[in-house]
């Protein structure tokens, strides 16, 4: 299988999607932020000094998805019709975990998975930034594509949501 972002000489290139049909596309990405249990409690209670962590992280994720083509080399700018970022707080042994799920939609000639992945990444980084003063042990893990649909490859389900 050839890598689409390399030409025949192995040089980086932007893929020409001009002849591809416009189709409705959706991607769902996920990730986790692990922290001290007390840090997660502060977030849940709205007691982090910098403000409402999850609200800011949601906006950060949405804004980042809209700028993916400016952040990731060779990504096409897409007419994004929707980006949603959701959080689920859970306890895992003595650790707090925030599960992040981002959904992105477009009608375009190429996929939107990079936008969903960028939304999760920046939402996680925003949580880290807002909480690093109270918890230096925060870890961002398992950022991945969970599902995508539309385009030539159709629906791909990598995990149940």
Residues tagged active-site = 129
Instruction: Extract the tokens encoding 67.
Output: 């700028």
In angstroms, the CA 79 to CA 77 distance is: 7
Q: What DSSP letter does each residue of 55-110 carry, written as one string?
A: HHHHHHHHHHHHTHHHHSTTPPP--EEEEEEEEEEEEETTEEEEEEEEEEEEEESS
State residue 88 phi and psi, 5-degree precision.
Answer: -135, 120
In angstroms, the CA 102 to CA 121 distance is: 10
Sign of the Cα pseudo-torsion (24, 65, 145, 55, in order)? negative
């Amino acid at each position: 299988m050839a890598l689409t972002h390399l030409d025949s000489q192995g040089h980086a290139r932007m893929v020409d999607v001009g002849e591809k049909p416009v189709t409705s596309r959706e991607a769902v990405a996920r990730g986790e932020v692990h922290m001290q249990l007390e840090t997660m409690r502060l977030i849940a209670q709205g007691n982090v000094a910098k403000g409402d962590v999850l609200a800011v992280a949601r906006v950060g994720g949405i804004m980042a998805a809209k700028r993916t083509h400016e952040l990731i080399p060779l990504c096409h700018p897409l007419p994004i019709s929707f980006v949603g970022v959701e959080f689920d707080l859970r306890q895992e042994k003595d650790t707090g975990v925030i599960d992040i799920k981002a959904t992105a939609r477009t009608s375009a000639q190429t996929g939107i998975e990079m936008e969903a992945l960028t939304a999760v990444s920046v939402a996680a980084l925003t949580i880290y930034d807002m909480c690093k003063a109270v918890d230096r042990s925060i870890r961002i893990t398992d950022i991945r594509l969970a599902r995508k649909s539309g385009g030539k490859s159709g629906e791909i389900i990598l995990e149940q949501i």
